[in-house]
């Protein structure tokens, strides 16, 4: 982006303002703040900046709760300058409003996912979006793994560049992909085993140790024939889980499962809790966090590592009785001398909520994009930028 002729030109910038909301207010503005270096660079050169983002997944429908007005309000307060929020992201009225913008003006388009053309990467919708700028900058690292109209499609119509956040993320994460220091430890948590299967399969052989917590751990335990009570498991992926375990044995990657867990009869902040061995969860009880012996084992592995990546909370951190494991893993990261990366998404939100935002060397803004990069997968929107190299596409 720094090489582009942006002075006094209109620039369409794809940002990721898919931020947590509660009662119409932004509850975590870290993704908004992460876009500031790019915004300040462009506005400092008197560009007219037009921001595009999604919020949630309204599946092509206009959902009032997913409008970006609260985001615009928060952005304006943080920047200390006017932000004009538009009521749509394409169309003649939006184009006319943008055309009237002058140097240093800042617009925020409405949620691009209110249109079905966004997730379908519809060329006509992408072309409509392209009319909002003379240049395009993608600064939405968290959306680089999606070939959508606002991330990949628009690059076919405008000279396209990477923003400063994308540059920063790629540079930081390259330390995990280009000859990482060893021992290399991955901490994998989150609610569903299915969503982590691909990452687990691809990380085997790339890392030395995989520590498994959260809901993912109970599917692993159940697949190994352990008693997990009423804990959430996904039997449909257990054959694949067993295959991941076999592959890990073959490639010399150690998989460490919880030895003890914190359980309750219900996922409630007021529920009675117990700590039991991970394979002795009584019927009717639910595993909701890793226990103290597991915390100690995980901490030992993390503190002995030279590189650590963590994606997915290891317990139901949003409920106080089950936040201890996630907090303890964060504390182990803080004590470690390793290069430590938290893979964004829910894990990053957990650290902010638990007051542990400084625990890691780097917190990525993108969970899915971060994992895809670490797995060696192609990021379609990033590849589009590399292919275009800022050149104006042929008509």
Catalytic annotation on 101?
Answer: no
Helix residue ranges, H only, 178-263: 197-203, 214-223, 238-251
Task: Single out the catalytic residue among 117, 312, 345, 348.
Answer: 345
Task: Single out the catalytic residue among 14, 31, 67, 327.
Answer: 31
| DSSP-based three-state secondary structure for 134 | coil
Q: How many beta carbons lie within 10 A of that of residue 282, not counting itself?
A: 12
Q: How many beta carbons lie within 10 A of that of residue 54, not counting itself?
A: 26
Q: How many beta carbons lie within 10 A of that of residue 317, not counting itself?
A: 25
- Token pair, residue 91, equals 């169309």
Task: Single out the catalytic residue among 153, 287, 312, 368.
Answer: 368
Tally the C-alpha atoms within 13 A of residue 369's C-alpha that lie toward its C-beta: 26
Catalytic annotation on 284?
Answer: no
Cβ distance 122 to 149 under 8 Å? Answer: yes
Catalytic annotation on 192?
Answer: yes
Buried b (16+ CB within 10 A) or exposed e, 227-238: ebbbbbbbeebb
283 class by beta-carbon count within 10 Å (0-12 exposed, 13-18 middle, 19+ buried): exposed
Helix residue ranges, H only, 178-213: 197-203
Catalytic annotation on 312?
Answer: no
Task: Single out the catalytic residue among 45, 120, 192, 293.
Answer: 192
d(CA 65, CA 103): 32
Tally the C-alpha atoms within 13 A of residue 350's C-alpha that lie toward its C-beta: 32
d(CA 12, CA 14): 7
Contacts of 385 (CB under 8 A, 6+ apart): 138, 155, 160, 161, 162, 166
Known catalytic residues are: 31, 192, 345, 368
């Amino acid at each position: 982006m720094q090489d582009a002729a942006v002075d006094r030109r209109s620039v369409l910038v794809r940002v990721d303002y898919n931020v947590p909301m509660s009662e119409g207010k932004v509850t975590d503005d870290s993704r908004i703040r992460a876009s500031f270096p790019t915004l300040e660079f462009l506005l400092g050169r008197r560009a007219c900046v037009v921001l595009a983002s999604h919020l949630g997944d309204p599946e092509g429908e206009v959902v009032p709760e997913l409008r970006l007005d609260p985001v615009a309000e928060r952005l304006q307060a943080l920047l200390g300058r006017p932000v004009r929020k538009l009521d749509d992201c394409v169309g003649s009225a939006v184009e006319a409003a943008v055309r009237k913008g002058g140097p240093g003006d800042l617009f925020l388009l409405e949620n691009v996912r209110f249109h079905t053309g966004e997730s379908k990467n519809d060329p006509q919708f992408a072309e409509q979006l392209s009319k909002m700028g003379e240049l395009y900058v993608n600064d939405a690292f968290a959306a680089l793994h999606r070939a959508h109209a606002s991330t990949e499609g628009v690059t076919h119509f405008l000279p396209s560049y990477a923003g400063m956040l994308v540059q920063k993320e790629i540079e930081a994460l390259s330390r995990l992909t280009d000859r990482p220091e060893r021992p290399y430890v991955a901490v994998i948590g989150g609610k569903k085993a299915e969503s982590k299967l691909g990452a687990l399969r691809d990380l085997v052989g790339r890392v030395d140790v995989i520590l498994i917590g959260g809901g993912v751990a109970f599917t692993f335990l159940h697949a190994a024939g352990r008693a997990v009570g009423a804990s959430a498991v996904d039997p449909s992926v257990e054959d694949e889980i067993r295959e991941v375990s076999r592959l890990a044995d073959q490639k010399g990657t150690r998989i460490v499962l919880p030895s003890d867990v914190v359980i309750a009869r219900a996922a409630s902040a007021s529920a009675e809790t117990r700590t039991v061995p991970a394979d002795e969860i009584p019927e009717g009880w639910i595993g909701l966090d890793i226990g103290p012996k597991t915390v100690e084992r995980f901490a030992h592995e993390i503190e002995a590592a030279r590189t650590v990546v963590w994606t997915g909370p290891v317990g139901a951190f949003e409920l106080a009785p089950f936040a201890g494991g996630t907090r303890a893993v964060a504390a182990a990261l803080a004590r470690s001398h390793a290069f430590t990366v938290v893979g964004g998404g829910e894990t990053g939100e957990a650290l902010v909520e638990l007051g542990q935002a400084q625990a890691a060397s780097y917190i990525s803004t993108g969970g899915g994009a971060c994992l895809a990069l670490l797995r060696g997968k192609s990021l379609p929107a990033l590849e589009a930028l590399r292919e275009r190299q800022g050149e104006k596409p042929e008509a």
